[in-house]
Structure 1
């Protein structure tokens, strides 16, 4: 159902699969807001690797075409139920991108990130690359006041993902050491920021010295060029042969062997990606002899998002934004993300 007489809004849609030729800025009619939903005027959104995946193929993700792209967003409440006790028109908010069913066994026990019917914005349903979006009120959270729009939008995917990985899964402690692969990407930078904010020791890797230097300026304790150095040997050298307590990994096959060899006895590896391949050697003997733990993770629950936002408020943490693009320059923004040269999040200014 649509709103009679409402002007169309601008939205960025994929019309097929391929390259930027299937990504279009077009007029899109805003659906009528249903009870329990909130309409948010989007002020900024950021790009994520899944945006490239959905453009390229979307294989394995149930979706329809055309579809509005985008997972995360920050903006202002345009409309909500008058009875809503937490939200009011004009309020500055952030959107959680995973719409859970609230009915399956995982939702019922409080872990909606495992929901069997979860729908992600920009994947299974229309996303955030639009002037307005309507989502269930349970997906909308107050924006930390000290953040700009793009900084706030960035929390919804990369920082939430890193939060669940580090604290819910790997249970990183302030006195421990964490190795973060692929510094420069949004989720790895989020991990560095969060780990440093609790006082943990951090080791980061990249294939580019410039990114390593920037990471050290942000507080990384050690930096390893994975192109010119053996990561595991360097890790052992700077931990007096012990290894790290936690490995934060989103690279996949190319980093797996080094990641496993870098762990201390009883160490934990947590992964959320496989951009270089998803079939590395398992190294089972190392896993059971050293009693290692391996965790898979993706996004995070509403409760974890609530905790993250409180942490950001208390610590003053600010996500790193690499570059902001005007809404109509989506092709250039996608190209920049795909180049892998960014240090931080690539953002779109919407309103």
Structure 2
């Protein structure tokens, strides 16, 4: 089976360990095969290649957490990537032993992927394969950050740090569709302009003083924007944190946190029910995931290089079959 896999890991040169080749994993008993029509890339794939979150003794490992595809009976599905431990009962994201596809079990950047039946969500026919493949990480994470971790309601103001990335782009689209006032930041004028085109009410340079304080900040950048995120919040506001691409050890500024009654809410991915909900929201509102480009498996190396360089707006989709021809979306 053709796939994109991690053969070795290098924190300084992650793409050195990437291989497009053949691997035929043995799935756990009872797991369901899905023929992948489309998968999408995430920074998680680069972390795996750097050796973060993926122990070397699990190599080789097929990359990928996101996919939409077809079951053997013809049913069209979206794959929920959060795999709880076998004995866990309750919300899967709270299981301390949970994993994502490509961490313990082979991922989605392949012609086929195997998952537990409970991890399958029926794909709505209103979404294309490429659009559906964007949901399981970026759009699910953004949905949970906005409406669960931050608890935002229509009319409130949210600041999205780092416009351009998959989660940030998803957050702008979903927040605007939900009736929120949406502000965002970016280091580049091009990404700020693109964010406004997508629906952000205003876009600011990273670290810029805002016209007023906001109800919540969505934080996936980390060290480079953390101080600004705390200063941007009104008293009682919330920072929803789902990543730290620039570094995970910023100054805590605890004085500001307790004196202004700020709330910091960590969140990772989302539940199967929330994946169902975000798909329903897209169908109901007409909003669609922003696809940066579509590439075949052989294009994964160049695509990940673009992602590592920050040269992506939206999601890069991979078509593992012969249909992937590297066309722009």
TM-score by length of 1: 0.87
Q: Summarize deviations over 1:182-232 as a string: whole Å, max 9, x none.
A: 010000011111111110000010011111111111111111022xxx42x
The corresponding residue for 1:82 is none
> What's the secondary structure of 2:134's corresponding residue?
helix
Q: Which among 46, 52, 60 is matched to residue 58 of structure 1?
A: 52
User: What is the aligned partner in structure 1 of residue 29 from structure 2?
Assistant: 34
- Other-structure match for 1:286: 256
Gaps of 5+ in 1: 1-8, 79-88
Q: Could you tell me how far apart the structure 2 residues matched to 1:262 and 1:71 are? A: 32
Correspondence for 2:290: 320
Structure 1 counterpart SS, 2:261: coil
1:166 aligned to which of 129, 146, 168: 146
1:33/1:39 contact within 8 Å kept = no
The partner residue of 2:116 within 136, 139, 146 is 136
Q: Secondary structure in 1 aligned to 2:273? A: helix
Q: Specify whether residues 28 and 192 from structure 1 end up closer, same or farther in structure 2 by C-alpha distance, changes over 3 A only.
A: same
Q: 1:98 aligns with which of 82, 97, 109?
A: 82
Quote the Cα distance in structure 2 between the aligned partners of 1:224 and 1:246.
Answer: 16
Q: Does 1:225 align with 2:175?
A: no
> How big is the alpha-carbon RMSD for the aligned residues of Structure 1 and Structure 2?
1.6
Question: For each residue in 1:57-98, what CA deviation from the matched residue of structure 2 results, as whole angstroms up to 9, or x when unmatched?
Answer: 2356586011111111011112xxxxxxxxxx1111110011
Greater Cα shift, 125-134 or 280-289? 280-289
2:176 maps to 196
Deviation sequence 1:307-344 (CA, Å, 0-9, x none):
22222221222111111111112211111111101100
Match of 2:61 among 52, 67, 71: 67
Q: Is the 8 A contact 2:163 2:184 kept in 1?
A: yes
Which residue of the partner structure matches residue 245 of structure 1? 215
- Structure 2 residues not aligned, in runs of 5+: 322-329
Contact 1:102 1:112 in 2 (8 A): no
Contact (CA 8 Å) 2:221, 2:244: kept in 1 or not?
Answer: yes
For 1:177, the equivalent position in structure 2 comes to 157
Q: How high is the TM-score relative to the length of structure 2? A: 0.92
1:5 paired residue number: none
1:15-26 aligned within 5 A:
15-18=7-10, 19-26=14-21
* Distance change >3 Å, CA 61–CA 261, structure 1 → 2: farther
Cα offset for 1:131? 0.2
Q: Is the contact between residue 3 and residue 320 of structure 2 (CA under 8 Å) also seen in structure 1?
A: no
Partner of 2:231: 261
Pairwise CA distance, 1:33: 7.5
Written as runs of structure 1 = structure 2, the 5 A alignment for 1:293-332 is: 293-332=263-302
Larger radius of gyration, structure 1 or 2? 1
Q: Which residue of 2 aligns with 1:152?
A: 132
Q: Secondary structure at the match of 1:125?
A: coil
Q: Give the distance between the partners of 1:270 and 1:206, measured in 2 at CA.
A: 18
Could you say if the C-alpha distance between residues 99 and 63 of structure 1 is closer, same or farther in structure 2, counting changes exceeding 3 Å? Answer: farther
